[in-house]
Every structure is written in structure tokens, then in C-alpha cells.
Structure 1
Amino acid sequence: MTADEPLNVTVIIGSTREGRVCDTVGAWIAERARLRDDLAVEVLDLAAYAFPPCYPERATPAMRRFTATVSGADAFVVVTPEYNRSFPASLKQAIDFAYDEWQAKPVGVVAYGSGSRGHHTVEQLRTVFTALHAVTMRDWVGLDLLSAGIGERCRPLDTDDRLRAVAAMLDQLAWWGRALREGRRAQPYVS
């Protein structure tokens, strides 16, 4: 793999709640990312995984499939709602199934809610990903689902401000992704 090969970015749909809009928001950000030649985008929907309700002694096939996808990615965009000033338990459970697979990889966040635009969620995810030795992007995309910038089925509209926020986050993700991919190749990460 050369430095100018596309970065493998996995967009993680972090909510499994029935009636969610996370898949709509996730499809929107994946479409924006796929417009770039430097990114190869895959969508990982947590609702497609039958994770166990309790952490088992041995990893299940779903857990192994999830960690293999995390391992194969160069970078991530986590799409998540803000529930009670935090992110969903389904997302935390999935994040915890991997450990080494997150190390020395960048993570961007698209968060949504009402009022805060998911700010509390982003701050908590930064703490979690820092503990896993991942690098979170300074800029993130926040959506207020009660604002005028939201269309049918809560699909974000492409406003100038929003597209600038997406570009800033993806530019940072691409830079960090390339730098960390080269770093991991040059020398194994030490945790």
C-alpha cells in the first residue's frame, strides 16, 4: 500500500434503537465522504450484529466479525445520537469488544440531538477513545434535529456551514489516517 492509496474509512452507525435516524445520518455522511478520492468508505451498522447481552468468556462470531472490521480500517467516523447526555449503550458495548484494533487510528464523530447537537456525546467518546489509544479529531459534525437544516426522515441538508464542518473533519481524519497508517507500518504501536 502506498501513501496515496485511499484511506479505508469505516462509518459506524452507533444506534440500534427501533425508529432511529442514525442510519439516515450515517448514509448522509458516508455519501459526503465517498465524494472524496482519498477515502474508501465502508458502512458498519451495529444493528446488523447480534451481540450477546452480557460480555461472554469467549468472543462470539459477531464479536470476531466486528473486531476484524475495526482491525482492517485505517480510520473511523462514528455516527451517534445523544441519549441523556451520553452515547448509546450499544455503541459502548461494541467499542469495548475491540481494544488493540483501535490503537493508533483516528476517529471522527458525527453526533446529533437537540440543542447541544451531541456535544456531550462527543466529549465522552473522546475520553473512551483516548483510553483505547485512538486519536479523536478536533473538529466534529453536530446536528440539531430540531433545526431548520434537517429534511425528511431527519436527513441533514447540505448547508454551507455544515459542508464546511464535514470537510474540516474529513480533512483532519484523512491527514491523521495517512500519518498513523505510515507510523504503524514503520513501527508497531506500543501501548
Structure 2
Amino acid sequence: MTLVAAPLRLAVIIGSTREGRVGDRIARWFVAHASRRTEVSVCVIDLAEFAFPTGYPARATPQMSAFAAEVDRADAFVVVTPEYNHSFPASLKQAIDFAYDEWHAKPVGFVSYGCRSAGQHAVDQLRTVFTALHVVSVRDGVGVDLLDGDDLEARLAEEIPVQAAQVLLDQLCWWGRTLRDGRAAHPYVS
């Protein structure tokens, strides 16, 4: 008898909270690709939907706790991030810091966007942050250069971003299953 593993719980985190952002459109595109896979169950965590405090309080607010609970439930993450001034947005860093143990021993991948660099500077810095949280970042990601033309949806439908999304999903699924099995067999110790 062959056991079928439960679907991998993939949380897609939209890291920009700016009005007029394109991150939600890029996230929808990625979620559509991920949702075609039977081995994943996708949820979206849109930081714009959380009312986080402007400062870090002594006790977690209900919104901070809700975010940390979403992170805890996930087996793997994709962070959809813009690049602002060669980095990622403060809203994303603030949210990441609201959880700690909940991130441990899980994989993260990146779908980034920006002008010219396609968000790679933001991804480089996020890899450092997630390494400190004991998160495994997968090698490949998706980068979208916002200067490549006006029709974002048409560009996302092209072969290169579609293939990049599939490679990212392949890596996340492998690491997600492996680390989920590892956490079940041996609790992670940081």
C-alpha cells in the first residue's frame, strides 16, 4: 500500500503594501501556476491586508499573531517582493520579524520585480535575513524587469518566466517535502 502525502502548504507572501503596486498582479500569476500542481495547496498572505503596528510592541497584537500563525501553518514560502532602492520594502522586513520559530526549517523561494535588476538586490538581502531565521532559500527564482514593456501579463505569459516559475516550484516542492518529513521525524533545534 502506497501512502499519498498531504499536499504541501505553500504560502505566497505579497511583500509590497504600496498603493498602485504590481506585486498583487505578479502574485496572482504565480499562484495560478502553483495551483495547477496537485502536490501543493496554495494560500496567499497579502501584507496589505494586515493592520500591523507602526512600532514593535511589548506584546504581539492580534494581527501580528495572525501573521505568525499563517507562517506556522505553511510548509514552504514564496515571497513576491519589489526592489526599492536596492533592497526590499520595510513592510516585508517588519512582517518577517513578527515570526521567528514559525519560519524554522522550511524553504523559501522568491519572485522579484524591479527596474533593470528585476529585484535581484532585494532577493540577495532577503536570503541573508531568511538564513538568520533557519530558512532554506532555493537557488532559482523568478525575476521580472518592469522596464521590459507595458504589458505585464503578456510578458509573464512568455516562455522564460513560465519556465522559471516551474523550476522554482520543483525546487520548493522537493525541499518542502524533505523538510516537512524531517521536522516530523526530528523536531528542529535552533
TM range (shorter): over 0.9
Which residue identity does 2:106 align to in structure 1? K
Structure 1 position 57, deviation (Å) = 0.2
Q: Which runs of 5+ in 2 are unaligned?
A: none
2:157 & 2:25 partners in 1: Cα distance? 14
Matching residue of 1:54: 55
Structure 2 length as normaliser, TM-score?
A: 0.96
Q: Deviations over 1:8-33 (max 9, x none)?
A: 00000000011111111111111110
| 1:159 maps onto 2:164 in alignment | no
The TM-score, its normalising length taken from structure 1, stands at 0.95
| Cα shift at 1:4 | 2.4
- The answer for the alignment partner of 1:181 in structure 2 is 180
Provide the rounded CA distance (Å) in 1 between the counterparts of 2:161 and 2:53: 37
Question: How far off is 1:81 after superposition?
Answer: 0.4
The size of the alignment, in residue pairs, is: 187
Q: Deviations over 1:92-130 (max 9, x none)?
A: 000000000000000010000011011101100000000
Alpha-carbon distance in structure 1 between the residues aligned to 2:130 and 2:69: 18
For the residues of structure 2 that align with 1:160 and 1:104, how far apart are their CA atoms? 32
Unaligned ranges ≥5, structure 1: none
Partners of 2:156 and 2:162 within 8 A in 1: no
Once the two structures are TM-superposed, the CA of residue 3 in structure 1 deviates from its matched residue by 5.9
Alignment of 1:39 with 2:14, yes or no, is no
Which residue of structure 1 aligns with residue 168 of structure 2?
169
Q: Percent identity?
A: 60
In the alignment, the residues of structure 1 paired with residue 161 and residue 54 of structure 2 have an alpha-carbon distance, to the nearest angstrom, of 36
- When the two chains are superposed, the root-mean-square deviation of aligned CA atoms in Å is 1.1
Deviations 1:118-146 (A, max 9, x none): 11011000000000000001001000011
**Are 1:99 and 2:93 counterparts?**
no
Check conservation: 2:109, 2:141, Cα contact below 8 A: yes
Other-structure match for 1:84? 85
Q: CA deviation at 1:157?
A: 2.4
Counterparts of 1:63-78 in structure 2 under 5 Å? 63-78=64-79
Q: Secondary structure at the match of 2:77?
A: strand
